[in-house]
Amino acid sequence: MCGICGQLRFDRGTPSSNSIKNMMSKLSRRGPDSSGQWFEGSVGFGHQRLSIIDLSNSGSQPMKDNTLNLTLVFNGTIYNYKELRSKLIDKGYSFFSSSDTEVIIKSYHFWGKDCVKHLDGMFAFAIWDSLSKNLFIARDRMGIKPLYYNLTDKAFTFASNSQALLTQNLDKSINPIALQQQLSLHGVVPAPNTIINGIKKLRPGTFIILNENGIVDEQSYWYPNASRYESNISEDDYITRTHELLSKAVTKRMEASDVPIGVLLSGGLDSSLIVALLKESGHKDIRTFSIGFEDIDDENGSEFEYSDQIVSKFQTNHKKYLLSNKEVLPRLSEAIKNMSEPMVGQDAIAFYLLSEQVSKQTKVVLSGQGADEAFAGYFWYPRMFKEQGDEVERFSKHYVDRPHHEFLQTVMPFYQGEDHTNKWLTKEFSKPGADSFIDKVFRTDMTRLIVDDPVKRVDNMTMAWGLEARVPFMDTDLVEWALQIPPSLKMKEEGKYPLKQIARQLLPSSVIDRKKGYFPMPALKYVQGDFLEFMSDILSSSSCINRGIFDQKYINKVINSPRDYMTSLNGSRLWHLALLEYWMQINIDT
C-alpha cells in the first residue's frame, strides 16, 4: 500500500514543501485515497495512502507518535502486526490506531534497529527519531516493496519510485555498468545501481541509519542460507512441510486486510494453487481475475482454457478480460510512464492493463510470482544443470540476453567496457552458504534477480492503479525452506515437483501437467506490423541518435530482422532496445 518520499538535509537547510509535493505528485497513483506531509527542521516526509488496514484517519500518514518522538512513512503490509501489537501491549505500550503502521513505530522504539527482524511482511519505511536526530530507512527481506534514493553531500532524498526522484535536481546521466546489466540480465539492474547515475535503490534485507551530519551506516539484516542442514528428510516430509508453509503464507496474506482480496488467475499452476489453498482453508467468496491477448502465429495470447477450469471447479467470482493488439499499442506509453525502471518482461504491460480492470473491483490481490524461482519451474534450470565447466559460463549460456561481445556491438564506444555482468555473477556465486552450482543459481534468482524482474514489474504495474499485490510464494519462511530442498527433488518431472504433488489432490491434472505458460503477450515477443514500425520509429528517432547510446548499424540489423535477434529466454532483443529508449524519452526527456 502507499507511496512514500522524504528528505534529510545535511547542509543545515530545510526540505522544501514544493520539493516534497513534486515527489508526491509522481506517487499519487500508488496511494489515491489520501495524502499528507510532515516537516521538522532538517527532515520532511510525504505520503500517498492506499487504505487497506485501519481505514480511519487514525491510520493516516506521515504518522507521528508524540509520546515516543518518532515519525514514520511506510509502504507495505505487516502480516504479523496483530501478534506484535499484543506483544507490545504486554510490554506497556498503548496504541491510538489499529494499523500495522503504528506497530512499526512501537517495534522500532522497543527493539531499535532489530525491529526489522520481528516484522513479517513486505515493507519499505522511514522513521525519524526527533531525540537522536537519526533517520532509519529499511526494506523487506525479499525486496517486494521498492525504495529509491539520491545521496549527496547536501541531502539524502528517498521515494517509492524513480519518477519522484527525477523531479529533484540530480545527475540524470546513464550509468554504464547498469546499462550493460540492463541489456544482459533481462532488464535486471541489481541494487544498489539503477540506469540513472543519480538514483540508487536500497538492497533487499537492508537498512540505513543516517544523521544530520551526513554519516551513513548501511547494514544487511537477512540473507538466506542455501546449504541443506539435514540429509535424512524424506520426499514426503519435504512436500508436507512445503504444503504447510504455503498454506500459512496464503492465509496470513488474506487475513491482514480490512478490504476484500482477490487473486490474479493466469491459469498456470501457481495462481491456481493459491485459489485451491484458499478453498482448502475455508474461504468461500473467492474473487479471481484473468486477462488474455490476441494470438500471433502459433503463440497463444491467453490461458483462458486453463483458468476457466479453475473457475468452474472452485466456483470463484470471476472476471475475464480479452484485449486486441489494437488496444495494447496506444497504452504502451502509459505503462512505461509507470515503470520505476525499464522493464522488458512482456507481462509488465499485461499486468498494467489487467490491474486497471481489477482495481475497479478490489484493492488487494494475491499473485503467483516467486514459485518458479523457489521451486525450479523455468526451462533453463535443467539446461544449466547439464552443462559442465565454469559456473558463470554455465549460467550465462542459458540466461544472459546478450553476450559481452554482442553488447560491445550494441552500444557506442563511450559505454563499452569490461564485462560487468560476468563480474557481478562471479561475486554472487562466490558467496558462501550454497552446496552446489544449481543451489547458487536458485539463491541468486530468489535474492537478487527476481527482485528486479517479476517482483518489481508486479509492484509497479499494480500500484499504478492503486492495487496492492501480495506474493505468497515469496514468504520468507517458505523461501528459506525451498532453498533447503534438494535441487533434484525440485527439478523432478520438469520442475516444481513439490508444488505439483500438493496440487494432485486439489487441481485438475490438465492444469498441473500442462506446458508452462509465461503470461503471454505475443506482440512484444514476435514483433511485426504496427509494433515493428513503432519500435523502429523510437530507435531511429533524433532523441535516440542524439542520446548516443546505441550503435545505429547494429540497431538497423535488428530492425530489419527482429526474429533473428531473440534472447536465450525467448525474448525480443528489439523490444529490449526500444523499451529502454522509450522509457528514457518518457521519464527523463520530458
Q: Are residues 46 and 137 in the same domain?
A: yes
Spell out the SS3 assignment of 191-226.
CCCCCECCCEECCCCEEEEEECCCCEEEEECCCCCE
Question: What pLDDT shows up at residue 294?
Answer: 72
Q: Are residues 258 and 317 in the same domain?
A: yes
Question: What pLDDT shows up at residue 517?
Answer: 61
pLDDT beyond 80 at 171: yes
- 584 within a domain of the structure (yes/no): no
The more confident residue out of 322 and 456 is 456
- 188 within a domain of the structure (yes/no): yes
Report, in this order, helix, strand and coil percent for the chain, each rounded to 5: 45, 20, 35
Question: What pLDDT shows up at residue 326?
Answer: 79
Q: Are residues 201 and 74 in the same domain?
A: yes
Question: What pLDDT shows up at residue 581?
Answer: 98
- 302 within a domain of the structure (yes/no): yes
Question: What pLDDT shows up at residue 459?
Answer: 95
pLDDT beyond 80 at 553: yes
Q: Which three cell numbers stand for residue 143?
A: 525486496
Look at the alpha carbons of 229, 230, 235, 237 in this order and tell me if their dihedral is positive or negative: negative
pLDDT beyond 70 at 583: yes
As a whole number of angstroms, the distance between CA 271 and CA 288 comes to 10
Residues 115-159 have pLDDT tens digits of: 999 999 999 999 999 999 999 999 999 999 999 999 999 999 999
pLDDT beyond 80 at 519: no
Amino acid (one-letter) located at 460: N
- Percentage of the chain beyond pLDDT 90 is 84
Q: Is residue 559 very low, low, confident or very high in pLDDT (cuts 50, 70, 90)?
A: very high
Q: Is residue 521 very low, low, confident or very high in pLDDT (cuts 50, 70, 90)?
A: low
Q: Is residue 202 very low, low, confident or very high in pLDDT (cuts 50, 70, 90)?
A: very high
Residues 365-394 have pLDDT tens digits of: 999 999 999 999 999 999 999 999 999 999
Q: Is residue 442 very low, low, confident or very high in pLDDT (cuts 50, 70, 90)?
A: very high
Q: Are residues 170 and 50 in the same domain?
A: yes
Answer for the pair 568, 380: CB distance below 8 angstroms, yes or no.
Answer: yes
Q: Are residues 340 and 447 in the same domain?
A: yes
Q: Is residue 520 very low, low, confident or very high in pLDDT (cuts 50, 70, 90)?
A: low
Question: What pLDDT shows up at residue 107?
Answer: 98
Question: What pLDDT shows up at residue 5?
Answer: 98
Question: What pLDDT shows up at residue 589?
Answer: 94
Task: Please report, for residues 316, 343, 370, 476, the alpha-carbon distance to residue 354 in angstroms, rounded to integers and kept in the order given.
Answer: 18, 17, 19, 27
The residue out of 199, 220, 241 marking a domain boundary is 220
Q: Are residues 86 and 209 in the same domain?
A: yes
Residues 208-246 have pLDDT tens digits of: 999 999 999 999 999 988 887 677 899 999 999 999 999
Helix (H) or strand (E) segment spanning residue 433: none
Q: Are residues 120 and 214 in the same domain?
A: yes
Closest CA to 283 of 366, 375, 370, 371: 366
> What average pLDDT does range 42-46 have in this prediction?
98
Question: What pLDDT shows up at residue 229?
Answer: 66
Q: Are residues 266 and 214 in the same domain?
A: no
Q: Are residues 151 and 81 in the same domain?
A: yes
- 402 within a domain of the structure (yes/no): no
**In the block, which residue shows the cell 493466469?**
266
- 75 within a domain of the structure (yes/no): yes
Q: Is residue 522 very low, low, confident or very high in pLDDT (cuts 50, 70, 90)?
A: low
- 354 within a domain of the structure (yes/no): yes
- 169 within a domain of the structure (yes/no): yes
Question: What pLDDT shows up at residue 193?
Answer: 97
Residues 495-508 have pLDDT tens digits of: 999 999 999 999 99
Q: β-strand 261-264 against 364-366: which pairing, if any?
A: parallel
Total residues found in the chain within this entry: 590
Q: Are residues 328 and 213 in the same domain?
A: no
Closest CA to 157 of 77, 46, 65: 46
Catalytic residue among 2, 5, 115, 544: 2
Q: What is the CATH number of the domain that holds 137?
A: 3.60.20.10
Question: What pLDDT shows up at residue 6?
Answer: 98
The residue out of 522, 539, 565 marking a domain boundary is 522
> What average pLDDT does range 406-417 have in this prediction?
96
> What domain range includes position 311?
249-375+436-522
Q: Are residues 206 and 291 in the same domain?
A: no
Q: Report the predicted TM-score, pTM, of the whole model to 2 decimal places.
A: 0.95
Question: What pLDDT shows up at residue 297?
Answer: 63
| 544 catalytic per annotation | no
Question: What pLDDT shows up at residue 11?
Answer: 95
Residues 457-474 have pLDDT tens digits of: 999 999 999 999 999 999
Closest CA to 14 of 57, 45, 35, 36: 45
pLDDT beyond 80 at 18: yes
The residue out of 505, 522, 539 marking a domain boundary is 522
Q: What is the mean pLDDT of the chain?
A: 94
Amino acid (one-letter) located at 308: D
The more confident residue out of 181 and 266 is 181
**Which letter does DSSP use for residue 515 in this model?**
P
**In the block, which residue shows the cell 519505511?**
125
> What average pLDDT does range 522-533 have in this prediction?
83
Number of domains in the chain: 2
Q: Is residue 296 very low, low, confident or very high in pLDDT (cuts 50, 70, 90)?
A: low
Q: What is the CATH number of the domain that holds 261?
A: 3.40.50.620
pLDDT beyond 90 at 299: no
Q: Are residues 287 and 174 in the same domain?
A: no
As a whole number of angstroms, the distance between CA 207 and CA 18 comes to 27
- 565 within a domain of the structure (yes/no): no
